[in-house]
């Protein structure tokens, strides 16, 4: 199971806001059927590695389809193969450890 964080930033849009381009990219993700979570700084995607990378490629292409000539995409990838872990479990693990710190 792979968990990726992707941030797609079109450059040269003539506007400081890029939310309409983000929405286009997330729409591609919605159609993929993969589990995801939009955050203020990027989008988390969960699934098998091939599917995750394929949808990121399609998301990266969305600003080009609207005439943008340059797109800056960052990807962080956690590909764990010893056991299946999802994004909620990763967050819960940290929260449990935080509880130990606050109780001591």
| pLDDT-above-90 percentage for the chain | 82
- pLDDT exceeds 90 at position 100: no
- pLDDT exceeds 70 at position 104: no
E strand intervals along 1-104: 2-11, 35-39, 42-47, 70-79
Over residues 90-103, mean pLDDT: 89
Structural domains in the chain, CATH included, are 2-103 (3.30.70.930)
For 28-50, write each residue's pLDDT tens digit: 999 999 999 999 999 999 999 99
Per-residue pLDDT, 102: 83
- pLDDT exceeds 90 at position 61: yes
Place of tokens 């935080």: 98
């Amino acid at each position: 199971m792979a968990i990726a964080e992707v941030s797609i930033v079109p450059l040269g849009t003539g506007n400081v806001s890029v939310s309409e381009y983000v929405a286009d990219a997330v729409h591609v993700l919605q159609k993929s059927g993969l589990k995801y979570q939009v955050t203020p700084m990027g989008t988390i995607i969960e699934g098998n590695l091939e599917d995750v990378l394929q949808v990121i490629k399609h998301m990266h292409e969305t600003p080009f389809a609207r005439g943008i000539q340059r797109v800056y995409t960052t990807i962080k990838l956690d590909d764990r193969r010893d056991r299946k872990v999802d994004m909620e479990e990763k967050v819960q693990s940290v929260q449990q450890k935080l509880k130990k710190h606050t109780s001591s």
